[in-house]
Chain A
Amino acid sequence: METIGFWPALLFVMLCALLLGYSLLDGFDLGLSMLLPLIPKADDRRVLLAAMAPFWDGNEVWLIIAGGVLFAAFPAAYATILSGFYLPVMFVLFALILRAVAFEFWPASQKGGNFWQWVLSAASLLVTGLFGLLLGNLLRGIPLDAEFTLAGGELGLFRPLPVAVGATAVAVFVFQGLAFAVGKTAGELQQALLKTARRAWWICSGVILVLWAALAASLPAVWQRPLLWLGILITAGALAGARLALIRRGGKGLLAFSSAALAGLWLSLAGIQFPLLVRSIPPARSMTIAAAATAGPTLRLIAAFTFFGMLLVAAYSWFVYRVFRGRARAEESY
């Protein structure tokens, strides 16, 4: 195997960090949007919308940035993945479009409000599920030829491992959404959300167990990776902490535990995938980060922009989150 090199490896880590950031932030508004159909009262749904409204757009930027960094740092992977999964990616894009306008159109159109709520929920489910499926396929492996283009044949989008990743994405995002919403509400609504979260915790933990089982079955070779174990450890610990927060502390600290569980998941998946970007079937033709990386000076430039730029983004995002701290109020939405 060729040597990986420091800068491609660093960019891989940064890319994973951006995707983790996206999961933590857009994860809560995607999850909360998926949850809306389960909230019976329209007023409560409005409060939850008001909780997300100032943030969802800034959250989605993390995806745009991750896409840009993948494009600039690993052009070959960007080209292979997006063209190889043309239709699923197109459906993600359609869903992202519908989701964005639904956020705006729902409160703006009182009469058509219910319609746009459904659009928001369905589109959020589609985005999350498809991202999981795509990620699962990159982990599971797709047929690549020597030029790293898809060698044809059925992709098998819905193989067991990708489906498990998709289901995990939906479950953990919903849990992240609940954890965020619990901190933004009070009274009856908060109690109802806590109750839902206690149930969702079981689903979430169950789905993650299935994911680990699917990993063991599909990729037996990766179980010697220490990072996978470290990730599993973190996820398991975070889930235990979340349980405690739910039953003993009325949901205090839930968001931190939920986020840690997501971080653990990303750590194990990144640990499995490194140093590959796209696993191939057969594995010999897999696209490594070294093979997909652009020239060295460009990588250093992107690394610098990403590191210092995202520090700045994190700083002012923190400021804006502080401006909107505390309970969400329905009358503040649009």
Chain B
Amino acid sequence: MDAVLLSRIQFGFSVGFHFLFPATTLGLTLYILIFESLFLKTRAEVHQRISAFLVRLLALVFVMGVATGATLEFSFGTNWARFSRFVGGVFGVPVAVEGITAFALEAVFLGILLFGRRRVSPGVYWWSAFLVFFGAHLSGFWIVAANSWMHTPAGYVLQGGRAVLTDFMAATLNPSTVIRFLHTILAGWLTGTSVVCALAAYYLLSNRHGDLSRRLLRVGILLFALLPLVQLVLGHASAVNVDRFQPAKSAALEGIFRTTRHAPLYLFGIPDAERRVLRFPVGIPSLLSVLVGWSPETPVRGLEAFPRDEWPPVGVVFTSFHVMVALGFALIGIGLLGGWLLLRRRLDDARWYWYVLLWGLPLPYLSFELGWVSTEIGRQPWIIYGVLRTAEASSTVVPAGQIAFSLGMLVLLYLSLLGVFLFLALRLVQRGPDPAPQEA
């Protein structure tokens, strides 16, 4: 295997593994903030017990994110030296600013969240929870801004064979940053929602921590009913953004080969890049045109409008995108069902629904992983869309053998750590939150 392919696999594997944890972190910090706020307002100790338990879970999740995140920052230099030389002065800026403004905030105040409950006042503790929440989301903003710049570069000029930053705001708020940031944050909140609902469902199913679990579940279901719907709107806006700024990716996502009006929205199909057709297509006539431009007459560009060597791998992109959307609709269904049960006051004895929540836990994870697969592979063959090809961005001095070795080590290391992480997280769940004072 050649060095570029190995570097691609290594980056894809490390970033895909890494994102499991920051996504969970985004969601958990939201729920910690919610329950700390409820505690501050009501002074009901059950809220504090919920928060304290989620903080313990966050500690495990956060450290996995930290451990796997450093690898990514440095891998631009190790594996993608030509990319780093070319765009470091632009792409490196949000990476540096993330560390200075966000990661530091998150990491420093996490110390108080984890160990400082008895050393600070409830007010200072709330502020620490808020700053960890804020830091995590700000961190997400800078990273998504940097990543979005690779999709829709702006605010720079090419000068002497490298990109030079001309407008920091334009580069940061490039055309896809805001929508991709919101889409990513929502994915994190949905993940956190799934986690807390599954937790509550697990305790209810095993007849433990009844009062605490019912409260946790009510808050969780409230968000579960709303967030997937918001995500549907954001996902739609994101797709329109891709259609406008990365048309070749959009064509691959939707499986459109020929530029056409009345473009159908395909629900199923198997793309055949050789014959340039979607096989076994199942679609809704004209709907894609309507979604993109509010009229069936809107033309949608197909892959054939682009040179063959600028097509992304259609099969992977189309399939991952469509499965992500399907999972999204499944989450909408689960959430609405929960909302209906909550309204009818039947949530507290709907055993079958608790099973749905418990076994539905992998859905948001699968969904966001597939989303990243479709958007990042959809950007290929470009590492910076329309500017620099991935194949021309790798390190030239690193032999393939060394990359194969590091990839093997990373896979081994990450899988073992995942095993230990799951073991410890499950044991934490087994032990459960601290008992209420009167129970103790």
Residues of A within 8 A of B (CB): 53-55, 57-58, 60-61, 63-65, 67-69, 71-76, 78-84, 86-87, 89-90, 93-94, 96-98, 100-101, 103-105, 108-109, 149-150, 152, 294-295, 297-298, 301-302, 305-306, 309-310, 313, 316-317, 320, 323-324, 332-334
Q: A76-B88, A302-B93 are in contact. List 16 more A-B contacts (CB 8 A).
A: A53-B115, A58-B110, A65-B100, A65-B104, A71-B73, A71-B76, A71-B92, A72-B88, A72-B96, A80-B81, A86-B403, A98-B67, A105-B424, A294-B162, A301-B165, A332-B115
Contacts of B92 in A (CB 8 A): 68, 71-73, 75, 78, 294
1/0 contact trace for B412-440 toward A, CB 8 Å? 01000100110010001000000000000
Query: Complex: how many Å from CA A109 to CA B423?
Result: 10
B78 touches A89 (CB 8 A): yes
Residue of chain A at shortest CB distance from B56? A334
Query: Complex: how many Å from CA A78 to CA B119?
Result: 41
Contacts of B96 in A (CB 8 A): 65, 68-69, 71-73, 302, 305-306
**Main DSSP-derived SS at the A contact region:** helix
Contacts of A100 in B (CB 8 A): 63, 66-67
| B294 proximal to A (CB < 8 A) | no
A82 touches B77 (CB 8 A): yes
Q: How far is the CB of A192 from chain B (nearest CB, A)?
A: 24
Given A97-B68, A149-B396, do A68 and B108 touch, yes or no (CB 8 Å)? no
A86 touches B398 (CB 8 A): yes
Contacts of A108 in B (CB 8 A): 60, 424, 428
Contacts of A69 in B (CB 8 A): 96
Contacts of B417 in A (CB 8 A): 97, 101
Contacts of B111 in A (CB 8 A): 53-55, 57-58, 320, 324
A149 touches B74 (CB 8 A): no
Contacts of B405 in A (CB 8 A): 87
| B87 proximal to A (CB < 8 A) | yes
Contacting residue for B101 out of A75, A93, A96, A309, CB 8 A: A309
| B120 proximal to A (CB < 8 A) | yes
Contacts of B168 in A (CB 8 A): 301
23 contacts between A and B (CB under 8 A): A58-B111, A61-B107, A64-B73, A69-B96, A71-B73, A73-B89, A73-B96, A75-B87, A80-B81, A82-B84, A83-B78, A89-B74, A90-B409, A93-B70, A94-B413, A100-B63, A294-B88, A294-B164, A306-B100, A316-B109, A323-B119, A324-B111, A334-B59
| B176 proximal to A (CB < 8 A) | no
Query: Complex: how many Å from CA A297 to CA B68?
Result: 32
Contacts of B89 in A (CB 8 A): 72-73, 75, 294-295, 298
| B47 proximal to A (CB < 8 A) | no
Instruction: Please report the total number of B residues contacting A with Cβ < 8 Å.
Output: 72
A58 touches B70 (CB 8 A): no
Query: Complex: how many Å from CA A295 to CA B86?
Result: 12
A96 touches B70 (CB 8 A): yes
B115 touches A58 (CB 8 A): no
Query: Complex: how many Å from CA A90 to CA B196?
Result: 36
A84 touches B59 (CB 8 A): no
**Main DSSP-derived SS at the B contact region:** helix
B84 touches A71 (CB 8 A): yes
| B112 proximal to A (CB < 8 A) | yes
B119 touches A324 (CB 8 A): yes
B386-408, CB < 8 A from A: 395-398, 402-403, 405-406
| B351 proximal to A (CB < 8 A) | no
A313 touches B406 (CB 8 A): no
Q: How far is the CB of B417 from chain A (nearest CB, A)?
A: 6
Given A53-B115, A58-B111, A71-B77, do A305 and B397 touch, yes or no (CB 8 Å)? no
Given A67-B74, A78-B77, do A298 and B116 touch, yes or no (CB 8 Å)? no
B95 touches A96 (CB 8 A): no
Contacting residue for B107 out of A58, A294, A306, A309, CB 8 A: A58
| B208 proximal to A (CB < 8 A) | no
Query: Complex: how many Å from CA A149 to CA B424?
Result: 44
Q: How far is the CB of A30 from chain B (nearest CB, A)?
A: 14
| B134 proximal to A (CB < 8 A) | no
Query: Complex: how many Å from CA A305 to CA B409?
Result: 36
A72 touches B93 (CB 8 A): yes
| B105 proximal to A (CB < 8 A) | yes
Q: How far is the CB of B88 from chain A (nearest CB, A)?
A: 2
Contacting residue for A86 out of B59, B120, B395, B413, CB 8 A: B395
**Which of B66, B100, B406 has its CB near the most chain A CB atoms (within 10 A)?**
B100
| B82 proximal to A (CB < 8 A) | yes
Given A68-B73, A298-B93, A305-B97, do A79 and B413 touch, yes or no (CB 8 Å)? no
Query: Complex: how many Å from CA A296 to CA B70?
Result: 27
Query: Complex: how many Å from CA A96 to CA B92?
Result: 21
Query: Nearest 6 CB-CB pairs, A to B?
Result: A75-B88, A82-B77, A294-B89, A68-B96, A72-B92, A54-B111
Residue of chain A at shortest CB distance from B79? A83
Query: Complex: how many Å from CA A294 to CA B87?
Result: 9
Residue of chain B at shortest CB distance from A307? B100
Residue of chain B at shortest CB distance from A326? B119
A60 touches B66 (CB 8 A): yes
Contacts of B63 in A (CB 8 A): 57, 100-101, 103-104
B191-214, CB < 8 A from A: none
| B85 proximal to A (CB < 8 A) | yes
Q: How far is the CB of B389 from chain A (nearest CB, A)?
A: 17
Contacts of A97 in B (CB 8 A): 67-68, 70-71, 413, 417
Contacts of B76 in A (CB 8 A): 71, 78, 82
Contacts of A75 in B (CB 8 A): 84-89, 92, 162
Query: Complex: how many Å from CA A13 to CA B264?
Result: 59
B88 touches A79 (CB 8 A): yes
Contacts of A149 in B (CB 8 A): 81, 396-397
Contacting residue for B59 out of A64, A73, A104, A320, CB 8 A: A104
Contacts of B71 in A (CB 8 A): 93, 96-97
Q: How far is the CB of A41 from chain B (nearest CB, A)?
A: 22
B81 touches A83 (CB 8 A): yes
Q: How far is the CB of B102 from chain A (nearest CB, A)?
A: 10
Residue of chain B at shortest CB distance from A301? B168
Contacts of A82 in B (CB 8 A): 74, 76-78, 81, 84
Contacting residue for A93 out of B74, B81, B88, B421, CB 8 A: B74
A65 touches B78 (CB 8 A): no
A320 touches B100 (CB 8 A): no
A101 touches B114 (CB 8 A): no
Residue of chain B at shortest CB distance from A86? B398
B406 touches A87 (CB 8 A): yes
B130-168, CB < 8 A from A: 159, 162, 164-166, 168
Query: Complex: how many Å from CA A334 to CA B60?
Result: 11
